[in-house]
Structure 1
């Protein structure tokens, strides 16, 4: 059997088990939003099998992540945080109460040269991996987030989907993956913060993509609507990072890079995150 189907099936089954364990405690979950991305009609996914007893199982079912056929490739890079996760579980719960799931923007934020110790000072557990798309994060979500049993998860993802790091961009797949992570988190009792995709007018590593600012804005419209409908917290990084041309403010980005914030960029993102965490923790 194709390994793509095997891993997708494993993710579905894992999501169903995780959601089922938490379903008794979360029976009042809100329904999955029907928001669509403006200017991009997102088709409603058809279930591959009869509806399952939990939103989490259905959400994972909607957006199986593509995987390579080689058995030697750790497509989602599950090994990256395996040891760190084991170490984190030995820490007091307060020191792993907020987990940051994301790509290089989250990965860099945890580094001293960019974040200036912001993660350590605020007990943030970084789980970003450079270059990852939302499908890879969905595969990592159980071991890198749920297993740590945090109070809050912060999801900042989508840049590499738009950049087509893995496959041609399909907004239905991206929002399906985001919704799957949201639903799994809520089914396990976590507060959810979803960050807007930062502005970018080009991708240095994939110049053929051209200016995808409108695509990013459309994805952020979906994220904002999903947060409003599901009573999640929306962290608007797009607005504080945007420059006069609509893309990343060059004073807030790495030199010659129109995607990644520099230390000054993370400094303006920090208050947005702290306010979002405060709001999330204040909700019953």
Structure 2
């Protein structure tokens, strides 16, 4: 009996430790207070944008775009698709938006969480879309933005080609499932597949002009989808 007791204690400890690591990995604390405040206020949001630093900085660059349209941003700098998937229930589903805009993949390709496997990343994006759809949330998928290289990860080669391959998978999936697909990449890329220099100071993160382009196409896609509700 003593062995059985210690076995279950060990399992419980390992489970708690795994949960703790998952919590830290996904950074669930980042928006926990904001989510709680939003839910307690009784306010309903129309759209949640989930993503990485590109989404997080978007809110900082143009907070009025989000507040005036009843959108909220749930981007976390440096995050990969697996981290977004772990926090999708808390940062998207729990808020009960009408629409979710999913932007993921940049940091996967940049090796932020280890070796890159496009099918693993693609499956994470599909999983987020499936979770949203099962909860009655309209899905809008977006392209990974253009990237000729990653300043913080110079060892990544053929970045633009890898971005294009992932975008091809996501676009095809969106068409098959009847989801809207926002092609930021097509509008913002240069002749080599990287970001136009006038749209991003570091080649990755949009500046004010870059976000203006994103806002225009996002508004059109969202407005079209909100009419379905």
Shorter-chain TM-score above 0.5 = yes
Which of residues 116, 119, 130 in structure 1 aligns to 2:66? 119
The aligned residue for residue 79 of structure 1 is: 29
CA distance in 1, matches of 2:180, 2:22: 38
Shift of 1:123: 1.3
Q: Is the 8 A contact 1:252 1:262 kept in 2?
A: yes
The aligned residue for residue 166 of structure 2 is: 219
CA distance in 2, matches of 1:82, 1:158: 23
Whether 2:56 is the aligned partner of 1:107: answer yes
Whether 2:35 is the aligned partner of 1:90: answer no
Larger Rg: 2
Which of residues 237, 250, 271 in structure 1 aligns to 2:216? 271
1:105-140 deviations in Å (ceiling 9; x for gaps): 1000000xx226211121111100000000000000
The aligned residue for residue 12 of structure 1 is: none
Considering only aligned residues, what root-mean-square deviation do their CA atoms show, in Å?
2.3
Shift of 1:70: 7.7
Instruction: Looking at secondary structure, tell me which structure has more helix per residue.
Output: 2
CA distance in 2, matches of 1:2, 1:141: 26
For the structure 1 residues 167 and 231, does the alpha-carbon distance in structure 2 shift closer, same or farther, using more than 3 Å as the test?
same
Query: Superposition pairs for residues 228-243 of structure 1, below 5 Å?
Result: 228-243=175-190
For the structure 1 residues 115 and 2, does the alpha-carbon distance in structure 2 shift closer, same or farther, using more than 3 Å as the test?
farther
CA distance in 1, matches of 2:129, 2:91: 14
Q: Is the 8 A contact 1:161 1:169 kept in 2?
A: yes
Structure 2: give runs of 5+ residues left out of the alignment.
1-9
CA distance in 1, matches of 2:11, 2:122: 25
Give the total of aligned pairs. Answer: 219
Shift of 1:146: 0.5
Which of residues 204, 207, 214 in structure 2 aligns to 1:262? 207
Shift of 1:234: 0.3
CA distance in 2, matches of 1:250, 1:2: 53
Equivalent position SS for 2:114 = coil
Q: Is the 8 A contact 1:203 1:210 kept in 2?
A: no
Shift of 1:169: 0.4
Shift of 1:71: 4.7
TM-score by length of 1: 0.72
For the structure 1 residues 71 and 273, does the alpha-carbon distance in structure 2 shift closer, same or farther, using more than 3 Å as the test?
closer
For the structure 1 residues 81 and 210, does the alpha-carbon distance in structure 2 shift closer, same or farther, using more than 3 Å as the test?
same
Equivalent position SS for 2:24 = coil
Equivalent position SS for 1:210 = coil
CA distance in 1, matches of 2:40, 2:20: 34
Shift of 1:215: 0.8
Structure 1: give runs of 5+ residues left out of the alignment.
8-66
Tell which has more relative contact order, 1 or 2 (C-alpha 8 A, sep 6+).
1
